[in-house]
């Protein structure tokens, strides 16, 4: 066969083989490309960002995050960071179109040489390929995944500019220490923003993507230093810095912070923060899959209502009260127990003992020594506790004899690295502070320490309010024809309830009876028998309806409810008192009033009232715009004020006289339940309402404490701490339209004309609040009836309101 024919056949065969190869390659490309994510979806990609909380004054104080990340637009990324990362990861990034073919051939050759060995195959992934893998693919180690990665990288390069690709990559990449992106990494390793990074610091971060844990300087300093110097050399090779600069920087030590920079965590407000977290998750979701504004990925900015000063005062006051109650009790043993061998500090941190006070510390007994014991703390430090500082006894045996290595106890410093034993109270409670006009919760304490118990007693504990519920019984009486001057009998009272319940006889807390007294006196002195009579005469249906309207609880109309036997939470009861101060208008508890998404767009506002003109760009002398108050009127405003006015008497003359010396108008009511198992005080000024209770989580007898002698002093402690540097204005409670202030005799309830109230709270004459036409009438004798020689009994006549007002010239 001629040579020319063989040549033609050979060429034909080669062409067929080449065609088949191209077809096979095309088929493989199509198969690999099938089902790939759309590269264009990166245009709408939003990396997970933490949610940041701000206090009411705008100061940042807490972060919810599982990935530490702060997103930086490309324009805010320093050039030295770009140079470091491209030099370390992809030096031809700005020239290639997604794939580094020279690097791929080199990786193939090296991997062929390593066949049969145990070395991990190397890759030649560009930054674009890494982005495709991190965001759109898996970490599967296979040829198929590498092919899909290459296809996707090409598509990304066609869709986005180099700057856009780098922006996504440098904000998404994991760099160790729970830091995602270069801004979070700069903070985590160097305690500074990325804009302030030096060349050698940027080079260190640029070397981390390959293996963040392997190049951790805290565990492998030499390897981390070697990797940083390699990146500095590559930066010089690529012309970003001079060789001389590279060599001088390589001679510098690697200086990073000791540990990861912690996320912003508030020192106070643990229960408040946890309640905000729960509410935000209910509203927006928890993870990215739950929506674009989720708590742990949405990058929300939340303005909470917490007042840090009030919160700190509330926590300190409640803890002081709990510790004071517990101080006379026996020692109950260690808070926890751990192994004391290597790693004890880590195990101690994992116990998360809730020590409450900032000055209290969780400590583990490491060993017993002569005269005391060596203690270890969560940070690895040690201290000493003398036997004389651990004398609290259990069963007559002092704690220092019972403590053994591994026992975890709270201690407080006494000076010179010496410590004294403390005990976390078993009794607990809650304290809530609310702004009555808006419902904003200014402080919330749900127990001794959220680390010890996440159960929030402010919102989750259902307790009997006892006498702190009585104001709402009196409100029902005022709504049904009674007045603060109405006479009610304080005498024995029994009622047949039903065949099942039988006859119920009520008694006063202190026993005894006082006979006929004014309604005001009954509330000030917290008389059970008078309260029961008012509830019965007003109708228990009306009492429980009012309690439901105010959000206190949904109760059966039985008389025991009038004495606070129905369960409620501290938050609900404080909110109901806020409605009293707010003139009977509906109030809802608000823990955050503004939420913005990651772009700064508001996505939630607590105050949705329309306000025409509030967003006007210019002021031209027009009237100030005011939003309309369309909130529901839950209670007659006049009734709300009458109850508030009577509750001021509780402070001046009643069961909470311990607060009368504070020197500002305060209303409030104590509460002590049967046992007593709970003690309460709820009250406030025109600007805030605060309420608290103390009791065991499993209710049992508290012993000889009462609301007036134990709960009210805690409230006083809170007030003095919260306002020690900024005393509130002594503003009075404002009476609404339709209320008449009339002088009456405090004990008899009769109207007085010849005397005036004095500053003495025990004055016989006081101002009392009446609804129009309900005040006591003036009774006088006519001239005809007073004829000197007539021995007849004079007639009594009630003058008309109009005659009285004309003669007296005003309303009293």
Task: Give the list of residues 6+ apart from residue 361 with CB closer than 8 angstroms, or none.
Answer: 355, 377, 378, 410, 411, 412, 413, 419
Is 89 assigned a catalytic role? yes
Residue 382 near residue 375 (C-beta atoms within 8 A): yes
Residue 289 near residue 41 (C-beta atoms within 8 A): no
Catalytic residue (one of 467, 486, 578, 774): 467
679 exposure class (CB count in 10 Å sphere: 0-12, 13-18, 19+): buried
Residue pointed to by tokens 């304290």: 431
Is 467 assigned a catalytic role? yes
For 412-443, b where at least 16 C-beta lie within 10 A, e where not — what string? eeeeeeebebbbbbebbbbbbbbbbbbbbbbb
Task: Give the list of residues 6+ apart from residue 299 with CB closer than 8 angstroms, or none.
Answer: 46, 48, 49, 50, 51, 71, 597, 598
Residue pointed to by tokens 């309640």: 275
Per DSSP, the three-state class of 724 is coil
Neighbours of 698 (CB within 10 A): 7
Retrieve residue 490's tokens: 């304080």
Which helix (H) or strand (E) segment is 528 a member of?
Answer: helix 528-538
The Cα–Cα gap between 656 and 420 comes to: 35
Neighbours of 193 (CB within 10 A): 15
Catalytic residue (one of 87, 89, 157, 378): 89
Helices (H) and strands (E) in the chain, counts: 22, 26
Of 625, 628, 644, nearest in space to 636 by CA: 644
The Cα–Cα gap between 235 and 652 comes to: 78
The Cα–Cα gap between 676 and 737 comes to: 41
Task: Give the list of residues 6+ apart from residue 226 with CB closer than 8 angstroms, or none.
Answer: none
Helix axes 182-190, 199-206, angle to 10 degrees: 120
Residue 386 near residue 399 (C-beta atoms within 8 A): no
Radius of gyration of the chain (CA): 38
The Cα–Cα gap between 460 and 291 comes to: 28
Residue 308 near residue 59 (C-beta atoms within 8 A): yes
The DSSP call for residue 708 is I
The Cα–Cα gap between 260 and 156 comes to: 34
What is the side-by-side strand order in the sheet with 667-672?
A: 441-445, 428-434, 689-695, 679-684, 667-672
Of 421, 351, 353, nearest in space to 383 by CA: 421
Retrieve residue 683's tokens: 């009250």
Retrieve residue 725's tokens: 């540097």
Distances (CA, A) of 723 to 238, 437, 663: 63, 19, 12
Retrieve residue 345's tokens: 């500090």
Retrieve residue 328's tokens: 């006379």
Retrieve residue 733's tokens: 């409670």
The Cα–Cα gap between 741 and 641 comes to: 11
The Cα–Cα gap between 711 and 695 comes to: 10
- Terminal Cα-to-Cα distance of the chain (whole angstroms): 135
Residue 583 near residue 641 (C-beta atoms within 8 A): yes
The Cα–Cα gap between 388 and 382 comes to: 18
What residues are annotated to the active site?
89, 467
């Amino acid at each position: 066969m001629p040579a020319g024919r063989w040549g033609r056949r050979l060429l034909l065969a080669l062409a067929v083989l080449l065609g088949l190869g191209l077809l096979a390659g095309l088929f493989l490309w199509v198969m690999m490309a099938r089902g790939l994510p759309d590269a264009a979806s990166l245009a709408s990609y939003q990396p997970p960002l933490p949610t940041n909380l701000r206090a009411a004054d705008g100061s940042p104080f807490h972060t919810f995050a599982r990935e530490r990340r702060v997103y930086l637009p490309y324009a805010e990324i320093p050039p030295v960071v770009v140079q470091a990362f491209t030099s370390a990861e992809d030096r031809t990034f700005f020239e290639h179109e997604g794939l580094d073919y020279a690097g791929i051939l080199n990786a193939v050759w090296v991997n062929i040489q390593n066949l049969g060995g145990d070395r991990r195959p190397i890759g030649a992934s560009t930054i674009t390929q890494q982005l495709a893998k991190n965001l759109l693919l898996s970490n599967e180690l296979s040829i198929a995944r590498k092919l899909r990665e290459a296809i996707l990288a090409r598509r990304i390069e066609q869709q986005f500019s180099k700057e856009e690709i780098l922006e996504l990559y440098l904000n998404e990449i994991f760099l160790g220490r729970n830091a995602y992106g270069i801004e979070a990494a700069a903070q985590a390793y160097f305690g500074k923003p990325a804009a302030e990074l030096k060349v050698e610091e940027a080079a260190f971060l640029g070397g981390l993507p390959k293996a963040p844990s392997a190049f951790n300087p805290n565990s492998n300093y030499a390897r981390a230093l070697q990797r940083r110097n390699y990146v500095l050399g590559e930066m010089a090779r690529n012309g970003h810095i001079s060789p001389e600069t590279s060599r001088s920087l390589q001679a510098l030590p690697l200086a990073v912070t000791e540990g990861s920079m912690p996320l912003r965590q508030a020192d106070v407000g643990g229960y408040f923060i946890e309640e905000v977290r729960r509410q935000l998750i209910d509203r927006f979701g928890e993870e990215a899959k739950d929506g674009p504004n989720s708590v742990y990925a949405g990058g929300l900015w939340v303005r909470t209502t917490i007042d840090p000063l009030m919160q700190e005062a509330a926590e300190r006051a409640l803890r002081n009260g709990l510790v004071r109650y517990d101080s006379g009790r026996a020692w109950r043993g260690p808070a926890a127990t751990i192994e004391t061998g290597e790693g004890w500090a880590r195990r101690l941190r994992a116990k998360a003992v809730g020590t409450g006070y900032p000055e209290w510390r969780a400590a583990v007994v490491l060993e017993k020594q002569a005269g005391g014991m060596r203690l270890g703390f969560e940070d690895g430090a040690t201290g000493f506790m003398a036997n004389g500082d651990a004398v609290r006894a259990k069963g007559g045996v002092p704690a220092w004899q019972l403590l053994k290595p591994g026992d975890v106890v709270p201690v407080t410093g006494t000076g010179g690295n010496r410590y004294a034993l403390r005990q976390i109270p078993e009794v607990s409670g809650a304290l809530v502070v609310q702004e009555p006009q808006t419902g904003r919760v200014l402080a919330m304490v749900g127990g001794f320490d959220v680390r010890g118990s996440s159960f929030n007693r402010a919102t989750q504990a259902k307790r009997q309010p006892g006498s702190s519920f009585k104001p709402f019984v009196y409100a029902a009486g005022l709504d049904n024809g009674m007045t603060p001057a109405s006479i009610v009998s304080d005498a024995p009272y029994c009622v047949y309830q039903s065949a099942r319940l039988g006859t119920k006889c009520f008694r006063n807390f202190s026993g005894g009876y006082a006979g006929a007294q004014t309604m005001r006196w009954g509330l000030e002195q917290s008389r059970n028998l008078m309260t029961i009579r008012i509830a019965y005469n007003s109708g228990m249906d009306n009492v429980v309806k009012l309690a439901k309207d105010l959000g206190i609880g949904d109760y059966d109309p039985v008389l025991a409810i009038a004495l606070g036997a129905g369960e409620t939470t501290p938050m609900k009861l404080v909110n109901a008192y806020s409605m009293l101060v707010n003139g009977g208008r509906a109030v809802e508890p608000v823990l955050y009033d503004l939420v913005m998404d990651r772009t700064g767009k508001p996505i939630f506002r607590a105050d949705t009232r329309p306000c025409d003109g509030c967003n006007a760009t210019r002021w031209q002398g027009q009237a100030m715009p005011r939003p309309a108050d369309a909130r529901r009127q839950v209670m007659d405003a006049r009734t709300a004020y009458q109850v508030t006015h009577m509750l001021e008497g509780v402070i001046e003359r009643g069961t909470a006289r311990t607060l009368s010396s504070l020197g500002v108008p305060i209303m409030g009511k104590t509460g002590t339940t049967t046992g007593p198992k709970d003690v309460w005080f709820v009250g406030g000024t025109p600007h805030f309402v605060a309420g608290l209770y103390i009791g065991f989580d499993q209710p049992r007898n508290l012993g000889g404490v009462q609301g007036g002698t134990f709960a009210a002093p805690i409230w006083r402690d809170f007030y003095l701490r919260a306002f020690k540097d900024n005393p509130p204005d002594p503003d009075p409670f404002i009476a609404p339209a339709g209320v008449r202030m009339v002088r009456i005799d405090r004990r008899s309830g009769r109207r007085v004309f010849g005397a005036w109230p004095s500053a003495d709270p025990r004055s016989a004459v006081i101002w009392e609040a009446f609804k129009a036409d309900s005040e006591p009438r003036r009774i006088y004798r006519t001239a005809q009836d007073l004829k000197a020689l007539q021995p007849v009994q004079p007639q009594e006549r009630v003058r008309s309101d109009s005659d009285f007002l004309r003669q007296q010239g005003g309303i009293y």
